[in-house]
Amino acid sequence: MNAIALNVSSARKAFGGLVAVNDVSFEVRQGELLGLIGPNGSGKTTMLNLISGALKPTSGEIALDGAPIAGLSAYKIARKGVARTFQLVRVLPSMTAAQNVMAGAVFGHRRLWGEDAMHLAHELLERVGLAGRGSLPVGAMTYIDQKRVELARALASDPRVLLLDEWLAGLNPSELKIGIALIEQLSGEGRTIIMVEHVMDAIRSLCDRCVVMSSGIKIAEGGVSETLSDPEVVRAYLGDDDA
């Protein structure tokens, strides 16, 4: 079995009285594609925020390749090799697509600059299906293309762990197919990925394992098909979600 890439143990985040992530533990092995699912408001994005450093955990430990990262600044965690996309797509509106992607390569642990960074940016744009569109202003792109740019930016840092927050949300059926194939390809290349997703078909076809959260608590974990048929998981979804 591969070594553990990311280890989350008893991570907790409280917003005042609301415990958004309640002592959640799980681990991701190198090269694994882990699905993180759960009804709306169950704490998935907050969990990713704790890993990426956007938020500091109230308590608990998170380790990347064995080294503790919980509570570090987001930029430090990024430099150690965690990259992410955002639930509501975040591109750099004043820049071209290629510059957006370059941003991921320049400051992370890769630290490319100049021609090298530009070259990588164009290469990655091609990977995500935007060949030859590098010089377009990103603000003039469609939603799915912006999502592609954001993914390319995350990949530009050559992350140890890639976090995708509902990267497939908002895509139409044909775009969805392309999106799933792209993630599958990344995973096939050995990337370690945690994907938060509501699209169950994607989880079924892509993930090795999944973790299910509900109201901040991890309620199930394991192989995808047995987890999704777990009565407690079914109840959590039927109780307050439509997925």
Partner 1 sequence: MNSLSQKEIIIGIGGVLAFALAACLPLVDQGYYLSLAVNITLYAALCTAWTLFSGPTHYVSLATAAFFGLGTYAVALWVDVLPFPLLVAFGALAAGALAGIVGAATLRLSGVYFVIFTLGLAELVRQIVTWAQATFTTRMGLYVFTDLREMHIFWMLLALTAVIFLTGWLINRSRLGFAMRIIGDDETVARHVGIDTAKSKIVLFIISGAFIGIAGAICAPRYGYIQPTSAFNPMTSFLVVIMALLGGTRKLWGPIVGVIPFVILMDFITVRFSNYMPVAMGLSFLAIVFLLPNGVTGRLEQAWNKFQSRKSAPSSTETAA
Ligand X SMILES: Nc1ncnc2c1ncn2[C@@H]1O[C@H](COP(=O)(O)OP(=O)(O)OP(=O)(O)O)[C@@H](O)[C@H]1O
Q: Which residues bind ligand X (CB under 6 A)?
A: 15, 18, 20, 38, 40-46, 87
Q: Which of 23, 3, 2 is nearest to 13 (CA)?
A: 23
| Residue 118 site contact among ligand X, Mg ion, partner 1, none (CB < 5 to 8 Å, cut-off depends on kind) | partner 1
Q: Which of residues 71-100 bind Mg ion (CB under 5 A)?
A: 87
**For residue 34, which amino acid is it?**
L
CB 34 within 8 A of CB 8: no
The mark string for 153-192 relative to partner 1 (x by CB under 8 A, - otherwise) is x---x------------x----------------------
Give me 21's structure tokens. Answer: 């992530």
Check binding of 45 to Mg ion (CB under 5 A). Answer: yes
Edge-to-edge strand order for the sheet containing 18-29?
18-29, 4-15, 59-64, 67-68
Q: For residues 211 and 34, what is the distance between their CA atoms, to the nearest angstrom?
A: 7
Q: Tokens 């594609």 — which residue?
A: 33
Q: Which of 52, 96, 192, 214 binds partner 1 (CB under 8 A)?
A: 52
Q: Which residues bind partner 1 (CB under 8 A)?
A: 52-54, 73-75, 78-79, 83-84, 86, 90-95, 102-104, 106-109, 113-115, 118, 138-143, 146, 153, 157, 170
